[in-house]
């Protein structure tokens, strides 16, 4: 189980995402954020990284922790490419679903795995709110301008 403060952060960011999804219209999903991505691409990005972290955790539970590096830029470029052919309205559903899944998994992982991730500098996997909130801030700034 992760630290209760991390779980609370993750819960708040997941609720923030859900609330945002109730306000988004189709034209909002096509708006461009400062990164040059659309809102839908940002949501798919969140969905991908939450599911990626879930896959890592599940693998580490089966086989033990093995550090691995990801080429973040290449993965993000791939997400952007795939988002171009993806229905924008599905992006939010996937982001919400992925957030639910990873946060639920994080509440169930062993204290040993959580400690290992902390000690190896991978606390961001445990604190999904950090990543979510960065991108929710981007989206909300764009929506405030409209």
What the block records as the tokens of 54 is 């879930």
Q: What is the pLDDT of residue 146?
A: 61
Choose between 84 and 115: higher pLDDT.
Answer: 115
Q: What is the pLDDT of residue 129?
A: 98
Instruction: Give 36-58 pLDDT, tens digit per residue.
Output: 999 999 999 999 999 999 999 99
Residue 32 has φ and ψ, to the nearest 5°, of -95, 135
pLDDT band, very low/low/confident/very high, at 35 (cuts 50, 70, 90): confident
Whether the pLDDT of residue 26 is over 90: the answer is yes
CATH architecture of 4-145: Up-down Bundle (1.20)
Average pLDDT over residues 2-18: 97
Q: What is the pLDDT of residue 64?
A: 96
pLDDT band, very low/low/confident/very high, at 61 (cuts 50, 70, 90): very high
Residue ranges covered by each domain of the chain? 4-145
Please, are residues 94 and 44 in contact by the beta-carbon 8 Å criterion? yes
- Give the residues across from 32 on adjacent strands: 38
pLDDT band, very low/low/confident/very high, at 140 (cuts 50, 70, 90): very high
Whether the pLDDT of residue 1 is over 90: the answer is no
Rounded Cα distance between 104 and 36, Å, is 31
Q: Which of 140, 109, 145, 146 is nearest to 126 (CA)?
A: 109
Instruction: Give 67-102 pLDDT, tens digit per residue.
Output: 999 999 999 999 999 998 989 999 999 999 999 999
Q: 32 by DSSP, 3-state: which?
A: strand
Phi-psi region of 14 (alpha: psi -120 to 50; beta: other; left: phi over 0): alpha
Please, are residues 48 and 75 in contact by the beta-carbon 8 Å criterion? yes
């Amino acid at each position: 189980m992760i630290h209760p403060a991390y779980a609370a952060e993750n819960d708040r960011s997941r609720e923030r995402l859900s609330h945002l999804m109730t306000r988004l219209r189709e034209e909002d999903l096509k708006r461009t954020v400062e990164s040059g991505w659309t809102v839908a691409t940002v949501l798919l990005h969140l969905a991908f990284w939450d599911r990626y972290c879930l896959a890592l955790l599940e693998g580490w539970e089966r086989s033990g922790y093995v550090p691995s590096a990801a080429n973040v830029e290449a993965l993000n470029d791939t997400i952007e490419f795939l988002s171009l052919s993806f229905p924008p309205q599905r992006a939010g559903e996937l982001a919400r679903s992925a957030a639910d899944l990873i946060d639920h998994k994080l509440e169930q992982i062993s204290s040993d795995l959580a400690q290992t991730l902390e000690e190896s500098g991978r606390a961001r996997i445990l604190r999904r709110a950090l990543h979510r909130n960065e991108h929710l801030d981007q989206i909300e700034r764009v929506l405030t301008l409209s």
